Amino acid sequence: MDTKLVAALRAVVGERGLIDDPTRLLPYESDGLAMLAVRPPLVLLPRTTAEVARCMQLLAEYGVSIVARGAGTGLAGGATPVADGVVLSTARMRDVLEVNVEDRFARVQAGVVNVDLSGLCQAHGLAYAPDPSSQMACTIGGNVANNSGGPHCFKYGATTRHILGLVIVTHDGEILDLSEPVVDPDGYDLVGLFVGSEGTFGVATEVTVRLVPAAPVVEVQLAIFADLDAACDSVSEIIKQRLEPSALEILDKLTIEAVEDSVFAAGYPREAEAVLLIEVEGVETEVNGIAREIRTILEARGALEIRTARDATQRKKLWAGRKGAFGAMGRIAPDLYVADAVVPRTKLRDLVRRTIEICRERDLRLANVFHAGDGNLHPNICYDRRDPDEVRRVLAAGHAILEACVEAGGALTGEHGVGLEKLAEMELLFTADDLAAMCRVREAWDPERRLNPGKLLPMHACLEIRTAALPPAPTSLDT
Amino acid sequence: MSTAKADLRSALEARFGDALALETWSGPGGRSLPLAAPIGDEAWSELLRFARAERVRVLPVGLGSKLELGLVDQVELLASTRSDTDVIDYEPGDGTLTARAGARLGRLAQHIRVGGHRLTPTVPEPERTTLGGALAAGQDGFDRLRYGPIRHQLLGLRMALADGTIVKSGGKLVKNVTGYDVHRLLAGSLGTLAVIVEASLRLYPLPETHVLVRASSGSTNDALTTSRALLALPIRPVAVVARNTGGSGWTIEVVLEGRDDVVTWELARVREVLPVCTTEGGRHDLGAPHLRAMSALERRSGSWPPLTIRTRPSRLADALVIVEGACLAASLRPEIATHPGLALAWVWFGDELPAELGLRLDRELRADGHALRWRGPQRPPGGQDPLRPDVPAPARRTMFNLERALDPDGVFPGLRLDDAP
Amino acid sequence: MTLPDAKSLVDYAKSLDCIHCGLCLQSCPTFRLTGAESSSPRGRIHLMRAIGEERVEPNAAYGEELEFCLLCRHCESVCPAGVRFGPMMESARASYESVRPSGFLRRQLRSFGFRRLLPGRIALRLFGSFLRAVQVLGLDRIAFLVLGERGRDLVHLPRIAPLSARRLLPETIEAKVENGQEAAVGFLEGCVMPELFPHVNRAAANSLAALGARVHTPRGIVCCGSLHAHNGDLEGARMLARKLIEGFEPIKGGDGEAAPIVIHSAGCGAHMRELFELFEADDPWHARATAFAARVTDFTQYVAPLLAARTDVELDEGALEGPVTWDDPCHLCHAQGVREEPRDILARLVPNRRVELEGSENCCGSAGIYSLLRPADSRAVFEPKRAALERSGARTLVTANPGCQLQWQTGLRRAGSSVRVLHLAELVERALSRARSGRAGQQGHSAQQDA
């Protein structure tokens, strides 16, 4: 990296806002997808929109690429650095700028942590609805980049439905102030387009989010099944009967065991083949009515036992098991590959079965824990990164699962994003024309393709040369 | 000009024969244009390739009910989705619907009713509103408060680009983040970027029952205060509307829908705020006269509101003070309908809006920080141009780049983004 | 000294337990301070793993990230994969200590501090008296001239009591039982406690006695060695651990069973509960340390059920001003998982007056001798805690660890705050003595305290 550039950047962000020591850069080499690693030459930690803009002007002058990073909890390699580009982290941008209770919105810096946002408005009876499982660490800026989901998106919709405005710094360091929370965008919906663009359109530095009234009554039901199929079928039936719980989550046996061994032990019965976690919220009458009808379905589908919790502590405990499930898998395997496919909710059972077959054929251990209500599968495949053959089998299984889901009318990702991980599979879902159109949209924002280059769109779709596919071992991409 | 038009018509006939079902569209001021109605991806593709090669500007339209924005002045040809009306896929078990862009919202609503679903928006004239037209216009229904704007219902699109390629964005799934949300860009883009040829929507359960609560209120202030009290209740109304009536008073209407027991409970809460009120209701049926009247709110007095004001909920009263003050000074009594929960207000001025008054409103509302949109001939000369987005210049520049990226040759008309480089 | 092989520099096998999910980030005080991934638990484990894989040298930047860590172990409470960060960090620090380029002065200071001062009662007593002399002479006000940043807080330290008030506990305190069974407990005075907080030691021991336990404080046991273990002197820690085990092994209850060892310093307790971590599994000391560790219990855990059985313990209205809040010592909530008991006790002592402290499980920046070694960082970590205390409106802050107590007292005095900082044992003793004097029909007599 040009020393004059580094000096100029240092002048903008200060000594603590810049990391160029090779040792301290090392932990930035991966995000939540530890399989991929590229050590960046420089990390910037600006504090304000103005600093971000100034940095991006300088980087534009020198033609340097930029990979934006929130908390680095993404599971698709969306924040994996590039070898000759800087990482721009929002970790020091965590000011709450405004909480407007009357108009039900909040304006925050991009580095504010998701769970803090909810904590912030709790006292006013309001909530920020999207709750990715990593909410205790992930940032709102990262949520915007990935259009993140979470269990409650079943009722409330993904992040995009909750973003009212943004301040975006563009590739050349210009500030797009779209932060005013009006009900409709004037002209094109730049905010709606930006959400989910995985850092390829610009860097969101401030976010205006919608706050929703917290439900007065919340009931969590835990249904225990001796059979995973029955749990899946229950979900399909609930959807078919158009009942509206606020979340529907399934955990299979292996997941239950891992969770029960972890700090998030939630009292899930270890002998169950599957548990279905259901949350119903609303006013008393509504919750009673919906919960009753759901119970009827669960019983008809052979639930062995149904536990319910309305008390906040008990509910939190049942949920903690679900939210900590991914990490808890660390106990049953050194490494974990999490797929994120979506399927029509009529086909849940078939596709879950298919994932099990695919893994069995390749002699891999599979744990299923997923947002069943949205048809969002999360097959978690256990492996050990030190076993190259196993890594190859895992990647092949991941690919086969996505293929099966696309064939069934599904899609590649429900909430984690495409990142680097699912680049190859983009062509399963989209034609060359589809991808070319997306490339054109991307170039309208970033004509030099310096923003998170190589992510989201297969490069050859943009007439670029595609670099290496996923590496067989963790360190081979390290420079 | 007229020879060129005649040439275009014959060129189209020569190239496509009867396939485009060519008609003539006649607009205000004696203007007439050829109107083509392709059916199917292939036909759209060919028409656009033709237009691009012949340098003919095309405006995609549904049934042409929203042409007063002025885009029609920029084009030589109208391309309507009106004949491309098939339902592609309704999956009751998944709660999703995919249809061609020309399908009428009213027919779609009937189609999915059998499976126990409803769709949103519930627009003023559902039998005369196409799916594609509603999407391109970013059209609202009276039920937006509960269900959100149309862009939030959109799961995915097929669109015909200016070069004739047909591409998709999103899909039919209720949750999906694969690729860019280009469909979100198309929603509300007024046909300036691409033609929406097919769209997938998220559906909602058909409510068991509904009820419309109506009460009268005194002053504007009373009406807004009462509305806010209603909005603060722990209920999920489909609509809370306040509109002024012939005299000096206001009417407040609340629509509830859903499960029987819940609606009963919510109605009791509403009555606590509105002790004196009338109710109408029963099994949910959008054909019921009172719900038809609610959904026709935006076409009060038989026309679209010439002025739409969008602001923050807490600022709606300020905006109305400006409107009423200026109108009173000019001895004009405007009709006003508002969705206080959405901070949205529509204003009708009657037959005549003096240009001076229009300009004053334009100036004062914007100076006070409200966003507004004029529609139709009452827009005062020099007032906010609905085709020129009222956003900071850098945002307009990005919009310009997007327009150029998707339609580099100007096959479609454009927004006024000309202050961009 | 020859360089050890890379894998032995860190606990490589344990470092693989981390799946890089990042859920720990926001729990980490140093990450919250800097936003730097290398200063987060995930980042530090990543570096340890890289050391093991020889992708990076154990250089100064690595060492700095190790030392920057407060070892508060908050990350362990939130780690879904159950990574035990504390022991990993301790062993990484110890190995780093063996390879780091270290100046003469540093080696001398470490040797003096860890091998002479902390383990020796006489040295500590002298040090306490020296500090008192400094305070009496007012030299603390100019200490920064000699000590720099480190000396700046000396003036805010609590006053050291005269030697007469710093007397050690008797080897045995008899139980104050009126009826029923007498129990026995082992008790540890600790290293700096008798110098800085002699009244807290007495309060804890008297409370235990008042609740029916004969309190044994073995002679000659001074420091538990936790500071050594945290700061890379595992050998020193082992030495002290053996003394500890030997000193407490003979203490038995009336039934001949090994008596519980009740610890009122969360940092010491956390270390003693994991004492076996210091010894290889085939070391005979490992088994003895395991048995020892199983006996260790925190003061709050021991006391809570006993208090719950009584109805007569409530603090007098005038004892404390305003709302009372509890600040969880990291080594109590994160390292020992004790959260409910202190709250239960407070709920009993000051019903209706307890308020929650926002972020009560976040580190206050004390972290053993961290506040001494890195005063600026320690203060930066403390600042949001102070702000949260202010928001809580509490007039009394209660904790259960001498380090935290010192950090709060010093920090609040620095900030000009008048909020009182107390050890939970002080409240328990006061309530118990009030109950007893109430029962005895006596007035105004505050039991045997300071008799």
Shared-domain flag, residues C252 and C191: yes
B141-160 pLDDT, tens digit per residue, is 999 999 999 999 999 999 99
Within a 10 A sphere around the Cβ of C353, how many other Cβ atoms?
A: 19
Q: Is the dihedral of CA A115, A118, A121, A122 positive or negative?
A: negative
Spatial neighbors of C240 by CB under 8 A, at least 6 apart, are C119, C223, C224, C225, C228
Angle at C348 between CA C344 and CA C351, to 5 degrees: 110
pLDDT at residue number C319: 78
Shared-domain flag, residues C336 and C427: yes
User: In CATH, what number does A217-327 get?
Assistant: 3.30.70.2190
Q: For residue B261, which residues of chain A lie inside 8 Å, CB to CB?
A: 285-286, 289
Shared-domain flag, residues B156 and B76: no
Shared-domain flag, residues C278 and C383: no
Distance from CA of C19 to the nearest CA of A (A): 6
Q: Is 1.10.40.50 the CATH classification of the domain at A3-89? A: no
Shared-domain flag, residues C19 and C124: no
pLDDT at residue number C317: 74
**C130 falls within a domain:** yes
pLDDT at residue number C255: 83
What is the band of C329 on the pLDDT scale with cuts at 50, 70, 90? very high
* Structure tokens belonging to residue B251: 């009417």
Q: Which of A322-331, A387-396, A438-447, C203-212 has the lowest mean pLDDT?
A: A322-331
- Give yes or no for residue A468 having a pLDDT over 50: no
Shared-domain flag, residues B220 and B157: no
Written as one letter, the residue type at C445 is H
* C53 and A CB contact within 8 Å: yes
Nearest residue of C to residue A28 by CA position?
C37
**B418 falls within a domain:** no
**C1 falls within a domain:** no
Distance from CA of B349 to the nearest CA of A (A): 23
B51-99 pLDDT, tens digit per residue, is 999 999 999 999 988 887 889 999 999 999 999 999 999 999 999 999 9
* Rounded CA separation C21/C44 (Å): 13
* Rounded CA separation A210/A300 (Å): 39
**C46 falls within a domain:** yes
CATH code: domain of residue B284? 3.30.70.260
Shared-domain flag, residues B285 and B310: no
Shared-domain flag, residues B45 and B62: yes
CATH code: domain of residue C225? 3.40.50
Nearest to A458 by CA among A479, A428, A416, A414: A428
Number of domains comprising chain B? 4
What is the band of C139 on the pLDDT scale with cuts at 50, 70, 90? confident
* Structure tokens belonging to residue A389: 């053959």
**B386 falls within a domain:** no
CA atoms within 13 A on the CB side of B269: 20
Q: What stretches of A123-246 show up as alpha helix (H) in DSSP?
A: 140-146, 153-156, 190-194, 228-240
Shared-domain flag, residues B183 and B114: yes
B25-59 pLDDT, tens digit per residue, is 998 778 899 999 999 999 999 999 999 999 999 99
Distance from CA of B12 to the nearest CA of A (A): 26
CATH code: domain of residue B187? 3.30.465.10
Mean pLDDT of C27-47: 97
- Residue where one domain finishes, among candidates B158, B174, B205: B205
* Rounded CA separation A247/A279 (Å): 5
* Rounded CA separation C193/C185 (Å): 19
Residues of the domain holding B268: 209-295
- Give yes or no for residue C53 having a pLDDT over 80: yes
pLDDT at residue number B340: 97
Longest pairwise C-alpha distance within chain A: 71
**C354 falls within a domain:** yes
pLDDT at residue number C440: 59
Residue C295 near residue C258 (C-beta atoms within 8 A): yes
What is the band of C249 on the pLDDT scale with cuts at 50, 70, 90? very high
Nearest to B178 by CA among B155, B203, B195, B148: B155
**B43 falls within a domain:** yes
Residue A52 near residue A393 (C-beta atoms within 8 A): no
Mutate to test the interface with A, among B88, B180, B231 (most CBs of A within 10 A): B180
Written as one letter, the residue type at C167 is R
Written as one letter, the residue type at C84 is R
CATH of A96-213, one of 3.40.47.10, 3.30.465.10, 3.40.225.10, 3.90.660.10: 3.30.465.10
What is the band of B420 on the pLDDT scale with cuts at 50, 70, 90? very low
Q: Is 3.30.70.2740 the CATH classification of the domain at A334-407? A: yes
- Give yes or no for residue C83 having a pLDDT over 60: yes
pLDDT at residue number C180: 62
Nearest to A214 by CA among A279, A148, A282: A282
Written as one letter, the residue type at A94 is R
Number of domains comprising chain C? 4
Residue B390 near residue B384 (C-beta atoms within 8 A): yes
Residue A280 near residue A246 (C-beta atoms within 8 A): yes
Nearest to C386 by CA among C365, C355, C369: C365
* Rounded CA separation B374/A366 (Å): 58
Shared-domain flag, residues B307 and B290: no
- Give yes or no for residue C298 having a pLDDT over 90: yes
Strands (E), B62-165: 77-80, 87-91, 96-100, 117-118, 154-160
Q: What does the DSSP assignment read for A359-391?
A: HHHTT--EEEEEBGGGTB--EEEEE-TT-HHHH
Shared-domain flag, residues C230 and C325: no
* Rounded CA separation B211/C381 (Å): 57
Distance from CA of A12 to the nearest CA of B (A): 23
Domain boundaries, chain A: 3-89, 96-213, 217-327, 334-407
**B402 falls within a domain:** no
Shared-domain flag, residues C320 and C432: yes
**Rg (chain A; Cα; Å):** 22
* Rounded CA separation C385/C367 (Å): 14
**DSSP-derived pairing of the beta strands A203-210 and B335-339:** unpaired
**C446 falls within a domain:** no
Chain B and chain C touch, per 3+ beta carbon pairs within 8 A: no
CB contact under 8 A, A242 and B205: yes
Shared-domain flag, residues B109 and B96: yes
* Rounded CA separation A434/A265 (Å): 45
* Rounded CA separation A383/A364 (Å): 8
Shared-domain flag, residues C363 and C375: yes
- Scanning A116-155 for CB atoms below 8 A from B yields 146-147, 149, 153
* C21 and A CB contact within 8 Å: yes
- Facing residue for A330 by CB, picked from C19, C62, C77: C19
- Residue where one domain finishes, among candidates C303, C325, C349: C303
Residues of the domain holding C80: 6-99
The residue to which tokens 């390292």 are assigned: C335
- A3-89 shares its CATH topology with A96-213: no
What mean pLDDT value characterizes chain A? 92
- Give yes or no for residue B1 having a pLDDT over 50: no
Shared-domain flag, residues B109 and B165: yes
pLDDT-above-90 percentage for chain A:
80
Q: Which of B99-108, C133-142, C166-175 has the lowest mean pLDDT?
A: C133-142
Distance from CA of C391 to the nearest CA of A (A): 14
Spatial neighbors of C47 by CB under 8 A, at least 6 apart, are A23, A26, A27, C38, C56, C62, C65
* A103 and B CB contact within 8 Å: yes
Question: Quick one: which H or E segment has residue B250?
Answer: strand B250-258
Written as one letter, the residue type at A310 is R
Mark B258-280 as b/e (b = at least 16 C-beta within 10 Å). bbebbbebbbeebeebbeebebe
Shared-domain flag, residues C55 and C32: yes
**DSSP-derived pairing of the beta strands A212-213 and A274-282:** unpaired
CB contact under 8 A, C80 and A324: yes
- Facing residue for A34 by CB, picked from C19, C79, C83: C19
